[in-house]
Amino acid sequence: MISASALLKRFKKTKTLPHVAIQLTRLMADENSSAQAFEDIIKLDPTLVLRLLRLVNSPYYGVQQRIESITRAVVFIGMKNLRNMVVTEALRDIFKEGSDKDVFSRRQLWMHSAAMSVCCQMIAERIFGDNGENAFLCGILHDIGLIVQDQVVHDQLIQVCQAYEPGTQPITEYENAIIGVDHSTIGQTLARDWKLPVEIQDGIKKHHRVLANIEPSSIAGIVQIAELIVSKLDYPALPGMEPTISPPLTDHIRDNMAEYRTLTRDLPEEMAKARDLYEVD
């Protein structure tokens, strides 16, 4: 058995977010950070500069006139979108490493996470009229704990995947029994270390919990709803994995079924627009 902190200590010795990504996420936590501070850090990574300019000029943002400078790109997409882009860029490299397995595929998990990020943002904005940047980030990060397990305790993770029986109990119960800690706890701990907003930490922590008092508009609620939608569109994290849905969310979806049907119909098109953000080269 092992704790989340012990797993992450071993994980950080092998692979974590690049230094630039970590600096940017910490700048986001400082309300006094300036646009110039962000630009100074971005300039340290030429690959990131190219990626930023490519993304801001992609169909995802739909700019009318091509943007060529870092300053204009940062101002146009905003600090939170910049943070999301940098974290997503870093995660792509982590997820694509390693070969596909019958019971666990990093590529399948990445596509699930990409679908989740787009879906979470759509729910936040379309259903609740909120800004969706934090919901997006929680969607892309909610299963990062599985990658930590894959890299640090791979054989035990494979045991979890082989033992998991959909429809019985959440996969987190199997993780706690075999590994000693589940990926939701690991992910929440990592998000806290990166100084991400508490609501993102909370969404990661609770995405497999059946809760009686969860608010549909909370990021935790949005992530559970998104899991249900993307699973119906055949983007599961693991083969056969069934989503967790808390009772208040079931009632909410039923009361807003027309809106969710439209959102589900539009999700593939929105993912196509976001391809430059999440596509693995």
pLDDT digits (tens, 9 = 90+) for 16-66: 555 666 677 777 777 777 777 777 877 777 777 877 888 788 877 777 888
Domain termination residue (choose one: 42, 75, 97): 97
Positive or negative torsion for Cα 72, 75, 78, 82: positive
Question: Looking at 92-96, 98-102, 146-150, 242-246, which range is the least confident one?
Answer: 98-102
Residues 131 and 225 both lie in one domain: yes
Residues 183 and 227 both lie in one domain: yes
Residues 87 and 32 both lie in one domain: yes
Asked if residue 168 is part of any domain, the answer here is yes
Domain termination residue (choose one: 48, 73, 97): 97
pLDDT digits (tens, 9 = 90+) for 96-117: 665 556 788 888 888 899 899 9
Residues 109 and 246 both lie in one domain: yes
Residues 92 and 229 both lie in one domain: no
Please give the pLDDT value at position 146. Answer: 93
Question: Looking at 80-84, 182-186, 253-257, which range is the least confident one?
Answer: 80-84
| Residue 175: CATH number of its domain | 1.10.3210.10
| Close Cβ partners of 24 (under 8 Å, ≥ 6 residues apart) | 38, 41, 42, 82, 83, 86
Residue 79's domain spans which residues?
Answer: 11-97
pLDDT digits (tens, 9 = 90+) for 126-141: 999 998 989 999 999 9
Average pLDDT, the chain: 85
Domain termination residue (choose one: 52, 72, 97): 97
Residues 149 and 34 both lie in one domain: no
Residues 242 and 175 both lie in one domain: yes
Residues 114 and 241 both lie in one domain: yes
Asked if residue 270 is part of any domain, the answer here is yes
Residues 34 and 109 both lie in one domain: no
Residues 93 and 138 both lie in one domain: no
pTM: 0.82
